[in-house]
């Protein structure tokens, strides 16, 4: 892989004074890999701004209208609550992420970041594959085409893990053979040229690890986390989202607290769902069939309100 994360190239040999905003809690973990899954990590390469940068941007934009907000915390919470997003775009972060390819392909759907990925056309892929823990192996959910359902039994989980491990070893062995390399990375047969790296890579499994630099502003990172830190998100990408949430709690604690209060911990109601909620608060007996909500919408509303699901 491109670099040893324990010896970051970005670290300066000597500290240099700066007039830009820094966050002590971020400086403590700058460049340090935060482990995720079995071989993955997230590490902070650089960041710009802090909670105060959000407040400054809002006050420049709003002028006298913000004088009613006596505290920065109150202003940040107002911005989050009212969905005024541009002040949050004043903060940016650049991360070095190591992740399985199948997670990367899901992650890259968020097209609001700058990305530069490790290239298997130029470099040889390392022999590192993601293997789930047994408790994370589950059957296909019956009520969700994208999700997992009941956990596999111990014997079936062992068979699945053995298959994943064997397939990874087999395909990587064939990859090395096509490259004409031995386990140490040396040429096996000097008389053979070996297949081009850009072709040899195509038989590797989606569990192989890749790396990238990922730079994004805070507003779009919050949107990423609103989907990927959700309990319904796939476990593997949620594991990365939870590490990023911990980083944000260090970097912009007030903005992150507002995000967790109004977005992650809140609920957005449709017009019909709001009408149902009003009727329930008034003590009325409401049935799903008469609301115009689909069965799934009804279940989601009842779950958000902490009420038992009724037909």
Cβ neighbourhood burial of 124 (10 Å; 0-12, 13-18, 19+): middle
Q: Which residue, chain included where needed, has tokens 């070095």?
A: 96
**288 close to 307: Cβ distance less than 8 angstroms:** no
Q: Contact, 97 vs 211, CB < 8 A? A: yes
Instruction: Write the CA distances from 215 to 117, 192, 264, integer angstroms.
Output: 12, 41, 22
Beta-bridged to residue 148, according to DSSP, are 140
The DSSP H or E segment spanning 140 is strand 138-140
Q: Report the alpha-carbon distance of residue 172 to residue 239 in Å, rounded.
A: 26
Q: Which residue in 287, 293, 286, 288 sits closest to 271, CA to CA?
A: 293
**Residue 94: its pLDDT value, please?**
98
**Residuewise pLDDT in 10s, the chain (311 residues):** 455 655 555 555 566 788 888 999 999 999 999 999 999 999 999 999 999 999 999 988 665 555 544 688 999 999 999 999 999 999 999 999 999 999 999 999 999 999 999 988 888 999 999 999 988 888 776 666 667 677 889 999 999 999 999 999 999 999 999 999 887 788 888 888 899 999 999 999 999 999 999 999 999 999 999 999 998 899 999 999 999 999 999 999 999 999 999 999 998 899 999 999 999 999 999 998 899 999 989 998 999 999 887 65
Q: Is 228 a catalytic residue?
A: yes
Give the separation between CA 307 and CA 214, rounded to whole angstroms.
40
Partners of 151 in the β-ladder? 138
Residue 207 CB neighbour total at 10 angstroms: 20
The 8-class DSSP code of residue 88 comes to: G
Q: Give me the residue spans of the domains in the chain.
A: 1-127+207-266, 271-305
Distance CA 44, CA 152 (A): 36
pLDDT for res 69: 46
CB atoms within 10 A of CB 19: 5
Which residue out of 228, 249, 296, 307 is catalytically annotated?
Answer: 228
3 state DSSP class of 48: strand
Does the domain at residues 1-127+207-266 carry the CATH identifier 2.30.40.10?
no
């Amino acid at each position: 892989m491109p670099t040893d994360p324990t010896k970051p190239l970005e670290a300066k040999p000597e500290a240099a004074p700066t007039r830009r905003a820094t966050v002590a809690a971020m400086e403590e973990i700058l460049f340090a890999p935060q482990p995720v899954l079995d071989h993955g990590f997230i590490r902070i390469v650089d960041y710009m701004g802090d909670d105060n940068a959000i407040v400054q941007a809002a006050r420049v934009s709003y002028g006298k209208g913000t004088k009613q907000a006596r505290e920065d915390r109150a202003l940040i919470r107002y911005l989050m609550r009212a969905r005024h997003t541009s002040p949050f775009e004043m903060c940016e972060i650049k991360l070095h992420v190591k992740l399985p390819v199948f997670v990367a392909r899901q992650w890259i759907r968020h097209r609001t970041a700058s990305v530069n990925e490790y290239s298997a056309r130029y470099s040889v892929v390392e022999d590192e594959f993601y293997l789930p823990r047994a408790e994370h192996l589950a059957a296909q959910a019956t009520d969700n085409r994208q999700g997992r359902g009941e956990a596999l039994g111990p014997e079936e989980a062992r068979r699945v893990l053995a298959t994943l491990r064997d397939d990874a070893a087999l395909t990587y062995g064939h990859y090395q053979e096509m490259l004409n390399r031995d386990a140490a990375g040396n040429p096996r047969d000097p008389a053979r040229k070996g297949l081009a790296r850009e072709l040899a890579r195509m038989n590797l499994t989606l569990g192989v690890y890749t790396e990238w630099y990922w730079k994004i502003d805070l507003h779009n990172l919050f949107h990423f986390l609103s989907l990927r830190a959700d309990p319904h998100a796939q476990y593997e990408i949620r594991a990365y989202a939870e590490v990023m949430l911990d980083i944000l709690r260090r970097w912009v604690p007030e903005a992150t607290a507002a995000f967790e209060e109004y977005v992650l911990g809140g609920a957005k109601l449709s017009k019909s769902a709001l009408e149902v909620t009003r009727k329930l608060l008034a003590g009325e007996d409401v049935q799903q069939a008469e609301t115009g909500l689909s069965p799934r919408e009804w279940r989601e509303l009842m779950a958000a309100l902490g009420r038992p699901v009724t037909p």
